[in-house]
A = this chain, B = another copy of it.
Amino acid sequence: MRTLNAALPTHAGGPVRVEGWVHRRRTFADRTFLVLRDRSGLSQTVVTDGAARRQIAALPEETVVRVEGTATANSRAPGGVEVTAPVITALSPPAAPSPLELWRPELDASLPTLLDHGALSWRHPAQNAVWQVAAASLRGFRRTLDAAGFTEIATPKVTATATESGAGVFAVDWFGRPAFLAQSPQFSKQALVGVFERVYETGPVFRAEPHDTVRHLAQYTSLDVELGFIDDHRDVLAVLREVLAGMVGAVGELTGTSPAGLDLPVVPEEVPVVHFSEALRLVGASPDEPDLAPEHERALSRWAVQEHGSEFLAVEGYPSAKRPFYTHPQPGDPRWTNSFDLLFRGLELVTGGQRLHEHAAYVRALTERGMDPEDYRGYLDTFSHGMPPHGGFALGLERWVARLTGLDNIRRSTLFPRDLHRLTP
């Protein structure tokens, strides 16, 4: 029966079998320390027997081994227990020299090297811990929504028409017919509000971004929510608030190594909201600006911390011209919309809002933008058959994790990123 490294203290004094990767060997005159890594953390084995020491000398770092021995209390060992009198069995052939020194406390390789060797770099405990934040976030996201009566959905990732616009889509050869990778589950999730009222999906979305930036990927994991029977976008924001609290809560429950930069925010009972026009005024921008510049987003985040003690700030009312055609206008003033961006630590993290729900409103919105409603017929049909007022949001998992752990590039929080240049590993 295998014992995980983290459970060794509960076996002190008894026989144990640990299995994992040779993380590091430290050789002294009379003994060799074998540091073993498994999914729960590190352990230390003391090897004094000559034959066993020679055996270890031939098992380089990253070789997979089984160690059977005695768990022995030693206050200087990690966790207060080390393995003594070991019998070692290699479970893999001796590992080839690693291009990364995974045993160092910090991985100091360049980003391209880390990404080229993703299958190795993620083995580093600090990297591994970053992904645990992602996995916990997914857990918290679903747990919150399951408890609130949402239904998980699975939508098509290949579509006959581009979701949002003709730009930025990947073309697929679909049995000889032209098709596209879905930029979002937007159309499907709206249609399914007509079925389940409240839906969510966690899945890949695809953006043929020709820009090589630290915050864009060509594939990322979108956490999508859509719900019906709302009054307006504020109801959507209230669900987003619950979801964020659930995600932060799940990350907070993680045991084991924390990523170096992890800094969990407090999710306020109510996320402060500022109107787009007021946001422009606050940052000293012209009232005619159609969008917030990155420096504006940073300034607004600072303002929210000072004014509201909140690292989250919702900016509502974005100008219609900058929002997709399905965005619901602000009642009484159609220059603005019932939509919002959620800023977190100086960056846009979530986009959401209320959608149009009347067929005639869609036809009008598309026509006003010079788009042909006929191109969206299948999507629009749904709105002829009774759709409740509804809205939703989408949150990029990898961007969230990068912000939460202070990473400077979204590629560092993505298992095997895909971008303009990268199709492997």
Contact = CB atoms under 8 A, between A and B. Distances in A.
A385 B156 contact: no
A154 interface: yes
A175 B422 CA distance: 10
Interface string A208-247: 1010000000110100000001000000000000000000
Given A155-B415, A172-B171, A39 B2 contact: no
A386 B192 contact: no
A386 B170 contact: no
A192 B154 contact: no
A174 B170 contact: yes
Interface stretch (A73-81, A157-165, A267-275, A277-285): A157-165
B194 A119 contact: yes
A177 interface: yes
B151 A381 contact: no
A144 interface: no
Given A38-B197, A122-B192, A123-B194, A204 B157 contact: yes
Nearest to A204: B157
A184 B204 CA distance: 14
B139 A415 contact: no
Contacts of A191: 118-119, 425
Interface of A: 2, 19, 21-22, 38-39, 62-64, 91-93, 95-96, 98, 118-120, 122-123, 128, 131-132, 134-135, 138-139, 142, 146, 149, 151-160, 170-175, 177, 179, 181, 188, 191-192, 194-198, 203-204, 206, 208, 210, 218-219, 221, 229, 357-360, 378-379, 381-382, 384-389, 397, 415-416, 418, 420, 423-425
Contacts of A154: 134, 204, 221, 397, 415
Given A192-B122, A388-B91, A172 B170 contact: yes
Given A120-B194, A132-B151, A157-B206, 20 more contacts: A2-B229, A19-B388, A38-B197, A39-B196, A95-B386, A119-B192, A120-B382, A122-B192, A123-B195, A128-B195, A139-B152, A154-B397, A156-B418, A158-B218, A158-B418, A170-B174, A191-B425, A192-B415, A378-B424, A378-B425
B152 A135 contact: yes
A119 B218 CA distance: 29
B170 A423 contact: no
4 nearest interchain CB pairs? Answer: A119-B191, A62-B386, A95-B386, A96-B384
B98 A195 contact: no
Nearest to A209: B175
Nearest to A420: B175
A128 B151 CA distance: 10
A358 B93 contact: yes
Nearest to A198: B39
User: Most chain-B CB neighbours within 10 Å: which of A62, A120, A142, A174?
Assistant: A174
10 contacts: A21-B386, A39-B196, A64-B388, A91-B229, A98-B385, A122-B195, A128-B195, A131-B195, A142-B142, A159-B423
A233 to B, nearest CB: 16
B138 A416 contact: no
Contacts of A423: 158-160, 174, 177, 179
Contacts of A357: 92
A198 to B, nearest CB: 7
Contacts of A134: 154
B219 A158 contact: yes
A160 B123 CA distance: 23
A120 to B, nearest CB: 6
Contacts of A188: 415-416, 425
B358 A92 contact: yes
Contact of A173 (B22, B128, B132, B171): B171
